[in-house]
């Protein structure tokens, strides 16, 4: 074997001796492997030891490395620096590793910043390749926030301190827990099933959704535990017509907007209100934690909607359909899954005997939910008020009759 001129130049730059170069040319190593050794900054002494191992074991094919990975086509020399909150995902989203293209070009599991090796390219099951269909600015930070804010229902909630509650209050808490635990179950199913559809280049979004479906599972766990911890028990199931919009989503954005904007803007308001009014400090703590999680999901949904509106060429037309379906499903759920309304009215009023006050408080809650939702859309440059589902507006105008 004779080394190519380029490789010879590199041996001189690496201060390899002429004697060693001659030894290499008399060995079974290829020019490519020698170049790879040089790319790895292996000294003459260490390269010599490697060569000796090969020469001493001529029948051992395993020792004859290709070192094909030594000269990748990727950007090297990356030294991410930890920030005040450790080494977060935003800290490594630098150089080509932080550049997320508008269209992800690879159908396999090539990570962002890497490129497929020819001959090793098997397409996967991904279907979402457009950044505008899933992206949210700052999603990497939201992912780290979710990790940082983790909590453990088994031990972080003081289950023995809930205390005896009036029967109507206890039953109402349990009914609300039953309803929202069920919503959490559906939420985690949907997000889980969409993970594999999102192309690998959008790993920040995939990672964030992993935290959300995990949060949703924790919501199921925590609310079920609450319903069974204090003598109440599970209530009546939520109707579940809400999920028709979720299961029926045909685009990633449709699902993300249905769950993380339309539904979450309603869920957050309920959880925050319960965290403020429930008589037991344990229950207030529980719902405050759930509200915090839901707010993060809503923030993601909002940022995605903003990005979608600005970057998807058909955003405004498509959103008309996405929002109409999601609003309709939510409106139907609230109107027809009436156990939720009854339980909330009892809790907001402070008991069955104050149901009239509770009904008014419920109306106020519905108004606050609708307002929050519409303000979020306003902030995303979507003027939804003229076309919002009339059922949602009706709920905000008049309390449901007792």
Partner 1 sequence: MTTAPVSTPGLDLSWLDLDESWGSRALPSKKGLTLEDLTALSTGQIPPHAGAPTMTMRGAHADVRAPRHGRQYRDKSDVWSEAAMLLYEEGMQRQWSSAVDIPWHEIPESLPTDIEMAMCTLCTFLTQVEFIAGDLPGRFMGQIHPDHFEVQLFLGSQVMDEARHEDVFRKRALVNGGGLVDANMGASALLTADDFTEMTARLHLFGEGFVQTIFRMGELISTNEAEKRIFRLAAQDESRHLAFGVTHLKYLLDVEPERREELHHYLDLQEGALGQGQGGLTVNPATGEALAILAGGGIDKIDEGFQKVLLMRKKQINEYFHRLEVIGLGDRKERMAPGMRIFLEG
Q: Where in 184-213 is the site for partner 1 (CB under 8 A)? A: 185-186, 188-196, 200, 203, 206-207, 210-211, 213
Least distance between partner 1 and beta carbon 143 (Å): 8
Q: How far is the CB of 138 from partner 1 (least distance, A)?
A: 15
C-beta closer to partner 1: residue 171 or 273: 171
131, 218, 289, 366: which one binds partner 1 (CB under 8 A): 218
- Euclidean distance between CA atoms 295 and 291, whole angstroms: 6
User: Which residues lie below 8 Å from residue 291, measured CB to CB, with a gap of 6+?
Assistant: 268, 271, 272, 275
What length does the chain have? Answer: 402
Compute the least distance from the CB of residue 358 to partner 1, in Å: 8
Q: Is 376 helix (H, G, I), strand (E, B) or coil?
A: helix
Site for partner 1 in 109-148 (CB under 8 A): 109-111, 113-117, 120, 122, 124-125, 143-144, 147-148
Residue 333 CB: number of other CB atoms within 10 A? 22
Residues of this chain, 77-96, that bind partner 1 according to CB under 8 A: 77-80, 82, 85-89, 92, 94
Q: What tokens does 193 get? A: 């099933």
Window contacting partner 1 (CB under 8 A); options: 12-20, 106-114, 253-261, 279-287: 106-114
Q: Does 164 bind partner 1 (CB under 8 A)?
A: no
For residue 203, what are the CA distances in angstroms to 75, 96, 358? 18, 14, 45
How many Å apart are CA 54 and CA 317, to the nearest integer?
Answer: 66
Q: Which of residues 14-33 bind partner 1 (CB under 8 A)?
A: none
* Shortest CB 309 distance to partner 1, Å: 27
Q: Is 171 in the site for partner 1 (CB under 8 A)?
A: yes
* CA distances to 125, 326, 376 from 364, in Å: 46, 22, 18
| Spatial distance between the Cα atoms of 11 and 34, rounded to a whole number of angstroms | 9
Beta carbons of 121 and 108 less than 8 angstroms apart:
yes
- Four-point Cα dihedral 351, 355, 361, 367, nearest 10: 130
The verdict on 68 binding partner 1 (CB under 8 A) reads yes
Smallest separation (angstroms) from partner 1 to the CB of 82: 5
What is the size of the binding site for partner 1 (CB under 8 A)?
Answer: 131
Residue from 25, 168, 360, 367 touching partner 1 (CB under 8 A): that is 168
Handedness of CA 390, 248, 372, 219 (dihedral sign): positive
Select from 324, 352, 357, 393 the one that contacts partner 1 (CB under 8 A). 352
**Per the structure block, which two tokens stand in for 238?**
């939520």
46 belongs to the binding site for partner 1 (CB under 8 A): yes
**Dihedrals φ, ψ of 101, to 5°?**
-75, 155
Residue 50 is a binding residue for partner 1 (CB under 8 A): yes
Q: Residue 243 and residue 5: Cα distance in Å, rounded?
A: 66
Could you tell me the smallest distance in angstroms from the CB atom of residue 114 to partner 1?
4
Part in contact with partner 1 (CB under 8 A); list of ranges 13-21, 286-294, 302-310, 340-348: 340-348
């Amino acid at each position: 074997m004779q080394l190519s001129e380029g490789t010879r130049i590199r041996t001189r730059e690496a201060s390899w001796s002429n004697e060693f170069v001659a030894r290499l040319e008399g060995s079974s190593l290829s020019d490519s492997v020698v170049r790879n050794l040089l790319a790895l900054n292996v000294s003459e002494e260490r390269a010599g030891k490697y060569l000796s191992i090969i020469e001493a074991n001529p029948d051992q094919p395993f020792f004859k490395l290709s070192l094909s990975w030594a000269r990748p086509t990727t950007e090297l020399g990356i030294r991410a620096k930890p920030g005040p909150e450790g080494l977060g995902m935003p800290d490594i989203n630098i150089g080509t590793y932080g550049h997320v293209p508008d269209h992800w070009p690879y159908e396999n599991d090539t990570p962002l910043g890497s490129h497929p090796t020819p001959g090793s390219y098997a397409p996967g099951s991904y279907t979402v390749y457009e950044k505008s269909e899933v992206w949210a600015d700052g999603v990497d930070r939201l992912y780290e926030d979710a990790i940082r804010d983790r909590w453990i229902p088994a031990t972080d909630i003081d289950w023995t301190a809930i205390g005896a509650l009036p029967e109507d209050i206890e039953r109402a808490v349990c009914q609300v827990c039953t309803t929202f635990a069920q919503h959490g179950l559906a939420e985690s199913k949907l997000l889980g099933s969409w993970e594999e559809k999102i192309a690998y280049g959008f790993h920040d979004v995939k990672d964030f959704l992993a935290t959300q479906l995990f949060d949703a599972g924790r919501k199921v766990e925590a609310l079920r535990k609450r319903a069974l911890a204090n003598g109440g028990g599970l209530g009546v199931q939520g109707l579940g017509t809400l999920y028709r919009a979720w299961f029926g989503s045909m685009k990633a954005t449709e699902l993300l907007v249905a769950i993380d904007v339309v539904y979450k803007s309603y869920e957050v308001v309920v959880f925050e209100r319960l965290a403020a009014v429930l008589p037991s400090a344990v229950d207030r703590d529980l719902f405050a934690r759930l509200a915090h999680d839901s707010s993060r999901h809503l923030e993601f949904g909002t940022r995605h909607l903003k990005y979608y509106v600005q970057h998807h060429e058909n955003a405004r037309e498509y959103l008309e359909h996405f929002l109409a379906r999601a609003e309709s499903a939510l409106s139907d759920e609230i109107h027809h899954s009436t156990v939720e309304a009854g339980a909330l009215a009892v809790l907001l009023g402070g008991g069955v005997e104050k149901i009239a006050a509770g009904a008014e408080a419920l109306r106020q809650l519905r108004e606050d939910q609708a307002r929050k939702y519409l303000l979020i859309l306003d902030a995303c440059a979507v003027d939804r008020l003229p076309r919002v589902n009339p059922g949602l507006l009706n709920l905000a105008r008049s309390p449901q009759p007792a």
